[in-house]
Structure 1
Amino acid sequence: MSLSLPRALLRTTRTFTTTCRSSSEDPTTKKEKPLYGTAPSHRSYIFIHASEPPFSFPARLSTPLQRALQLKVMKWGGTINFSWLGPPKSTGGGPALTAFSALGGRLEVPELNMDNMEEVAEVLERHATEGPLGSGTSDEIHLYVCTHGARDCRCGEMGGAVLRALQEEVARLAKADPLGIASRIKIGEVGHVGGHQYAANLLIYPHGEWLGMLKPEDVPIVLARVLDSPVRPYTSEDAPIVPSHWRGRMGFAKDDQAQLFQSLYPNSLLTPSID
């Protein structure tokens, strides 16, 4: 069965508007710490398709399926989270998964349940450590915005604003060119990714790029950079897709993220201009 949340745990964005600290505060400036090197290290990011969007999640969301799979994939560098790309297709079984890895690109798993847990975990490990398990793994671009407002109101407010801006801009681009690459962009929401002080946070896959401190006005240039980039996992040969908002990259430890950024921008404590 798909992930279903009790009504008592549902939240609305209205909950966050009265007490939320301004997302315009720049934590990197205040603490004199760079934004780069703040993405959690992971070889593979695995999204469990939830039946409710993240603004409905409780502050901390955990299920037996998620915990069981996390124990298996964390051994080789996998990370689990809950995502929302619209109402999931009902299969009568467990939730579907979308996984991305630095070696394998995108992998779709139609169903996860306790009976196939071992098999799914083995497939995910092979995808992360051996490479693509099939053709056409990177024909789509997935953009995930953290909108988990019950965990931190900044993600609910600024994340929600950036999500809406992305949806509007992608719709505009797809209407202008129905057969263009914008038509292959999927916009989703994701639960807590770590670093809510950097809201809005955007995860770009299969590239594996993590961006932070985004605002709605940043969306057009971010999308332009994404659409102008190869649709594949990024490597050490690739510069950050948007340097001024770059948190890090899939397949890189935090120290390696910082080293890559500093090698390209040696005189920058923070991030360079987006222009």
Structure 2
Amino acid sequence: MLNVQFREIMIHLAGTAPAHRCYILLHTPQPPSEYPAKYATPVQRALLLRTAKWGGSVNFAWSEDQKSVCARPPGEEDKQEYHLTAFAHPRGKLEATVSMDNIEEVGERLRVHAEGVSGVTSSNSDDVHLYVCTHGARDCRCGDTGGAVAQAIRDELRKRRDSDPSDPSTCIKLAEVAHVGGHKYAANLLVYPHGEWLGEVEPEDVPEILDAILALPARPRNADETPICLRHWRGRMGLSKDEQVQLLQRTYDI
């Protein structure tokens, strides 16, 4: 049995990840530190309307390395185009370009991908995508702690790669995201394609978390697989909140 303090930490976090079957990220040219407190666009709202009914969730992401389309000027937001990356269980990653002109087509493509229909291609990449919420205008804890954790990840990845250019961490891609829910759990770190949500991450936790992630295959975690980073585990893609709690209880007999 686990000690009482550790048990309370796990129960406090488990089940706080919102239930979703597919997480969809629209790439923006500006980082979350520049987003307004409540950030939405016509394409994002339209895509969410079409995907939420089957378990899709739509957010914004930024990285120096990811492709993005320049923002349209004020008054032309409905003409904006986005590169997107989506993760679903069991098929993993899907990439596309979306605008109001092809919103129906992309929405259907995402649904088919999330439902795992045979014959639909998906990425076989070994890349691991880490998303840290740094949306400071929404909540300063995300801006401060999230920003510090994102920088700690960058520093740790740079250190490992400078030491060994073939280090396994070369497969990790870091990005920052808008509000994910749970400001009080900042810093929040989402791990895909695994589908794991981590919370209450501090900069000093980064090396241990990276090691735990790199020890796993880069694919969506199944419903009965052991949660990673126990002390930080909020939940998993594809599981309801009750199922997230039950998985933790079964795994660790708490």
Q: Settle same-fold status: TM greater than 0.5.
A: yes
Q: Which of 71, 83, 86 lines up with 2:49 in the alignment?
A: 71
- Segments of 5+ residues of structure 1 without an aligned counterpart are 1-27, 268-275
Alignment partner, residue 95 of structure 2: 108
| Cα-to-partner distance string for 1:249-271 (whole Å, 9 max, x where unaligned) | 0000000000000111223xxxx
| Cα-to-partner distance string for 1:151-209 (whole Å, 9 max, x where unaligned) | 10000000000000000111122223323331121100000000010000000000000
- Segments of 5+ residues of structure 2 without an aligned counterpart are 1-6, 73-79
Displacement of 1:115 in angstroms is 1.0
Asked if the contact 1:103/1:131 (under 8 Å) is kept, the reply is no
Q: Which of 138, 155, 171 lines up with 1:168 in the alignment?
A: 155
Alignment partner, residue 24 of structure 1: none
| Cα-to-partner distance string for 1:58-85 (whole Å, 9 max, x where unaligned) | 1100111100010000010000000001
| Cα-to-partner distance string for 1:139-162 (whole Å, 9 max, x where unaligned) | 210000000001100000000000
Displacement of 1:50 in angstroms is 1.1
Asked if the contact 2:28/2:68 (under 8 Å) is kept, the reply is no
Structure 1 stretches of at least 4 aligned residues deviating more than 6 Å after TM superposition: none
Superposed counterparts of 1:52-201, under 5 Å: 52-86=30-64, 88-90=67-69, 94-109=81-96, 111-130=97-116, 133-134=120-121, 136-201=123-188
Displacement of 1:241 in angstroms is 1.0
1:42 maps to 2:28: no
CA-based RMSD: 2.0
Q: Which of 208, 230, 244 lines up with 2:195 in the alignment?
A: 208
Distance 1:131 1:210, change over 3 A: farther
Displacement of 1:104 in angstroms is 1.2
Identity %, equivalent residues: 50
Asked if the contact 2:27/2:68 (under 8 Å) is kept, the reply is no
TM-score for both structures, normalised by structure 1: 0.82
Q: 2:12 aligns to what SS in structure 1?
A: coil
In 2, Cα distance between equivalents of 1:88 and 1:108: 11
In 2, Cα distance between equivalents of 1:214 and 1:187: 15
Aligned residues: 238
State the AA in 1 paired with 2:239.
F
